[in-house]
Amino acid sequence: MNKKGGVLEVKVESPTTPVSPQAAQDPKAIEKDKAVTNYRLTKDSAWGMVLVAFASIFGSLMSSLVNLLGQEYKIPAPTITFTRSLFNLVINLVCCGIVMANPIGPYKEGKKFLWVIFRGLFGGIQITCYFFAFTQIPVGDATTLTFTAPVITGFLAICMLHESWGWLDGVASCFCFVGVIFTSKPAWLFHTASLNAFYVMIAFIGSIAAAFAYIAVRKVGPTVSVFVLINYILIFTMLINIFQSYYKLHTFPWPKSTTSVKGWLLLVATSLLGAGAQICINRGLQLEKAGPATSMRFLDIVLSYVWQVVINKDPTDVYSIIGAILVSICLILIGLKKWWVVRKARLEYEKLLED
């Protein structure tokens, strides 16, 4: 752990832990240095999980408002996505100025900058697909469908980042898939009305893009400001939706003059909530491993059903509730695992201090 360019750099992927020069010849000092470093890393990891949880709160509220704008105010998905991204970009550039971060990013570091670009591209595809799904199907069901992303991320983390993925993460993945089945209610399995297969596929494409986006964040590392990452996500999102709007609607993706004041306020609210969610998820992913961090975002699903009933006045069914319960169990398991790891590191640290 060190300071680089005023930004705290945490080495979370290295299999070895550096020790101080004074400890080089002292086995006990080496053991103590490793315990101290491990304790600090697990504390940062826990904060990463907390930030991802806050991202879930902000993101689920934003999804509910997007559904409201699409269903009640009849604003097209490209317009909602573009407007929200434009407002977010203004907010984010102000944040770059406050923290004195170069909004362009590490353009002189070729490989790292390429991963920043990839993060923006995949993030733009993810947001575009998700917003379209949110405007077409109930927000709780849409959110549940997007959460195949943690499972895909876990597999990609094994292949691309060489991260370990324990049996508990595998159990969580099973809960995820079963929950998705209960939510989408395919006609061949359920005798109730199923969701439109096209919208389900759009949500799934967004999940694949999200998985690659999360991997890109891990490749970039913690030395690049989250505001730089968000800049590129928003820019790519705007470009994608300009193209989509001209291709599909033959017009620029901007709200019509007939849009009510309440509609504009909701658009601004989605921007603020989106900014909070992006900041928390990007920083959280820098501090925590990709698999566990994205699993924590299952909290989105539980909250989205609450907002669906309370804000969108859209009742749900027993199958969706079962799906929400399954992913809630997953959330509890992941949280308990993280608590145990942090507790173990803290006890080892305190024991060595007493020696």
Could you give the CA distance from residue 6 to residue 62 in angstroms, rounded to a whole number?
32
Q: Which residue type sits at 108? A: K
CA distance 94 to 82: 19
Q: Tokens 């504009």 label which residue?
A: 264
With residue 195 as reference, give the H or E element that holds it: none
Give the H/E segment covering residue 292.
helix 290-296
Whole-model pTM: value is 0.74
Domains of the chain by residue range: 51-354
250-275 as b/e, with b when 16 or more CB fall inside 10 Å? eeebebeeebeeebeebbebbbbbbb
138: phi then psi, degrees, rounded to nearest 5 = -50, 140
Give the separation between CA 95 and CA 77, rounded to whole angstroms: 27
Q: How far is CA 269 from the centre of its chain?
A: 19
Low-confidence ranges of the chain (pLDDT < 70): 1-45, 150, 161, 163, 186-194, 288-298, 331, 334-336, 338-339, 341-343, 346, 349-350, 353-355
What span, in angstroms and rounded, lies between the C-alpha atoms of 63 and 79?
A: 15
150 token code pair? 């943690």
CB burial string 16-35: b at 16+ within 10 A, e below: eeebeeebeeeeeeeebbbb
CA atoms of 102 and 188, how far apart (whole Å): 53
- Positive or negative torsion for Cα 26, 29, 30, 31: positive
Q: Please choose, from the candidates 271, 276, 274, 286, the residue with its C-alpha nearest in 3D space to the C-alpha of residue 225.
A: 286
Q: How far apart are CA 323 and CA 60, in angstroms?
A: 16
Structural tokens at position 20 = 């101080």
- Measured distance CA(131)–CA(14) in Å, rounded: 36
What pLDDT was estimated at residue 288? 66
In degrees rounded to 5, what are phi and psi of residue 214? -65, -40
121 burial type by CB count under 10 A (0-12 exposed, 13-18 middle, 19+ buried)? buried
Q: Could you read off the pLDDT of 208-251 as tens digits, one per residue?
A: 998 899 888 888 887 888 889 989 999 999 999 999 999 988 99
CA 178 to chain centre: 21
- The amino acid at 69: L
What are the helix (H) ranges across 137-166? 139-146, 149-156
Written as six digits, the tokens of 155 are 């597999």
For residues 292 and 169, is the Cβ–Cβ distance under 8 A? yes
Residue 114 is encoded by which pair of tokens?
């390429």
Q: What are the pLDDT digits (tens) for 125-182?
A: 999 999 999 999 888 888 878 777 767 777 777 777 676 777 777 787 788 778 877 8
